[in-house]
């Protein structure tokens, strides 16, 4: 039954009420609030956020809900309702939040706490980084005594490249800010959303990035957390990861005739695994060889056309005779460089198209579709993060009338984003459903950022 293949975001207020009821059953007292943060899809700009590239994400209607209540004893008690992850209440002394979760490079933590489930690091990490904020951001800083009870439920598939981790971090962060900071105390919960400025949301997003890189040990670049905290309903973000400035572009004109549908291939991925970090490290080695801090320095802005072959020639000249750069194969570094430069140029092209003069809906849709598919080819051949099922989904979607299709997120598993004319969507999803019983669909409607429900 094809309808069963659609993952619905559900009704926010119903989910929040049901979660509050469960919270009382689990913790024996009422939650003080329910907080939500969305996952994301990205039209273009994969594996370039950490190089200061431009990304074109939007928040999904799907995401993570957190029902929460503060505690006065500095303890964090967490439980997830995800059937595969739930092991009952997990208790972490807040003061041990970080030592309990050393990532691979950190000294190991106390034996009795190192058994904690991996997913809890995303939450305890955020508790720690929000406690580390400096004087300038004191209003958003958690006190060291702060603790909380959290019940978690996600409407996103976990590990499907749709940013389930960042949405958990951001929902937990918003709960912590609401319940344990001056900013939260100043604003009754329902008003906190509106009261938080975009700059404050950026500070919270940065704390979430820090939790993921320093506590979880996944070298993410900020795309996911920024989208979850700062997205806008009905809008695509044109996010410049040099300084995380962004423009919000209305794409409702496009959604009148076309649909964005995300296809979860059913093959999960993990960013903490070595492959993602290796890809990042290879591209960083290419940057080091070229003598630039980040690869964005080779593609400064939309106004200057960059010839990728010239950049590659320069790379070849500098790499001549070297089989390795900083311990990474020169051939691999060259491919990562080609991916990063072409991916950045594709983003600049769409940025110009969407922020410049209108060229008509169909022209815009076709150009976006072409960029998406070219992005996939580069994910497959240059970044080398695609996999058989993703390639099959892309080929099938294009054959069935999609204007564009591409793997999104970190790769090695995860989801494909498609752009399809409304009248071709049913045929496309039918053909995709026939590929594997694990395939699932999500309607991608650009949605609002992290909020109090």
Closest distance of CB 209 from ligand GAF, Å: 8
For residues 32 and 49, which CB has a smaller minimum distance to ligand GAF in the complex? 49
For residues 55 and 76, which CB has a smaller minimum distance to ligand GAF in the complex? 55
d(CA 367, CA 189): 42
Count of CB atoms within 10 A of residue 303's CB? 7
Number of residues that bind ligand GAF (CB under 6 A): 12
Contact with ligand GAF (CB under 6 A) among 33, 61, 63, 409: 409
For residues 90 and 350, which CB has a smaller minimum distance to ligand GAF in the complex? 350
Please answer whether residues 219 and 206 qualify as being in contact, where contact means their C-beta atoms are separated by less than 8 angstroms: no
Contact with ligand GAF (CB under 6 A) among 410, 413, 446, 449: 410
Closest distance of CB 46 from ligand GAF, Å: 4
Choose, from 49, 193, 224, 240, the residue flagged as catalytic.
224
Q: Does 46 bind ligand GAF (CB under 6 A)?
A: yes
d(CA 249, CA 56): 10
For residues 49 and 400, which CB has a smaller minimum distance to ligand GAF in the complex? 49
201-220 positions binding ligand GAF, by CB under 6 A:
220
x/- letters, 264..283, toward ligand GAF (CB under 6 A): -------x------------
Secondary structure in 3-state letters for 267-306: CCCCCCCHHHHHHHHHHHHHHHHHCCCCHHHHCCCCCCCC
Q: Does 223 bind ligand GAF (CB under 6 A)?
A: yes
Q: Does 375 bind ligand GAF (CB under 6 A)?
A: no
For residues 224 and 282, which CB has a smaller minimum distance to ligand GAF in the complex? 224
Contact with ligand GAF (CB under 6 A) among 149, 169, 193, 224: 224
Is 240 one of the catalytic residues? no
d(CA 353, CA 139): 39
DSSP-derived pairing of the beta strands 75-80 and 147-154: parallel
Annotate 359-388 with b (16+ C-beta within 10 A) or e (fewer).
eeeeebbebbbebbbbbbebbbebbbbbbe
Contact with ligand GAF (CB under 6 A) among 32, 49, 149, 240: 49
Quick one: 190 exposed, middle or buried, by C-beta within 10 A (0-12, 13-18, 19+)? exposed
Question: Which residue of the chain is nearest ligand GAF when measured via CB?
Answer: 220
115-174 positions binding ligand GAF, by CB under 6 A:
none
Annotate 317-342 with b (16+ C-beta within 10 A) or e (fewer).
eebeeeeebeebebebbbbbbbbbbb
Using alpha carbons, list the distances in angstroms from residue 315 to 7, 238, 291, 338: 45, 29, 10, 10
For residues 203 and 271, which CB has a smaller minimum distance to ligand GAF in the complex? 271
Measured in degrees and rounded to the nearest 5, phi and psi for residue 297 equal -65, -15
Active-site amino acid positions: 224
Please report, as ranges, the residues that interact with ligand GAF according to CB under 6 A.
Answer: 46-47, 49-50, 220-224, 271, 409-410
């Amino acid at each position: 039954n094809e309808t069963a293949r659609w993952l619905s975001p559900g009704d926010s207020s119903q989910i929040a009420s049901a979660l509050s009821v469960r919270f009382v059953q689990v913790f024996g007292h009422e939650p003080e609030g329910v907080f939500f943060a969305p996952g994301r899809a990205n039209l273009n700009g994969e594996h370039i956020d950490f190089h200061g590239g431009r990304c074109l994400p939007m928040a999904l209607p799907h995401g993570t809900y957190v029902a929460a209540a503060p505690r006065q004893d500095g303890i964090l008690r967490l439980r997830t309702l995800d059937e595969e992850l739930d092991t009952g209440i997990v208790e972490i002394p807040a003061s041990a939040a970080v030592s309990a979760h050393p990532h691979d490079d950190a000294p190991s933590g106390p034996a009795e706490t190192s058994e904690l489930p991996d997913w809890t690091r995303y939450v305890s990490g955020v508790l720690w980084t929000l406690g580390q904020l400096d004087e300038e951001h004191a209003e958003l800083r958690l006190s060291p005594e702060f603790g909380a009870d959290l019940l978690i439920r996600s409407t996103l598939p976990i590990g499907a490249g749709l940013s389930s981790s960042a949405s958990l971090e951001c929902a937990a962060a918003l709960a912590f800010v609401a319940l344990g900071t001056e900013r939260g105390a100043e604003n009754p919960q329902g008003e906190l959303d509106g009261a938080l400025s975009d700059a404050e949301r950026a500070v919270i997003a940065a704390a979430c990035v820090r939790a993921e890189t320093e506590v979880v040990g996944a070298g993410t670049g900020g795309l996911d957390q920024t989208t979850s905290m700062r997205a806008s309903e009905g809008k695509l973000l044109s996010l410049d990861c040099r300084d995380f400035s962004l423009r919000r572009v209305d794409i409702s004109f496009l959604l009148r005739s076309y649909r964005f549908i995300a296809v979860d291939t059913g093959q999960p991925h993990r960013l903490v695994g070595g492959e993602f970090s290796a890809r990042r490290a290879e591209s960083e080695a290419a940057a080091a060889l070229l003598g630039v801090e980040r690869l964005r320095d080779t593609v400064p802005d939309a106004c200057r056309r960059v010839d990728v072959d010239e950049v590659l020639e320069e790379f070849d000249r500098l790499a001549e005779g070297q089989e390795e750069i900083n311990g990474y194969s020169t051939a691999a570094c060259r491919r990562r460089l080609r991916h990063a430069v072409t991916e950045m140029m594709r983003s600049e092209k769409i940025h110009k198209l969407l922020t410049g003069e209108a060229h008509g809906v169909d022209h815009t849709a076709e150009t976006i579709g072409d960029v998406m598919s070219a992005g996939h080819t580069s994910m497959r051949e240059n970044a080398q993060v695609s996999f058989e099922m993703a390639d099959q989904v892309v080929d099938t979607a294009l054959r069935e009338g999609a204007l564009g299709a591409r793997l999104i997120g970190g790769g090695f598993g995860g989801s494909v984003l498609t752009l399809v004319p409304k009248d071709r969507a049913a045929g496309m999803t039918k053909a995709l459903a026939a590929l594997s019983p694990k395939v699932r669909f999500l309607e991608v409607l650009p949605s609002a950022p992290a909020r109090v429900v």
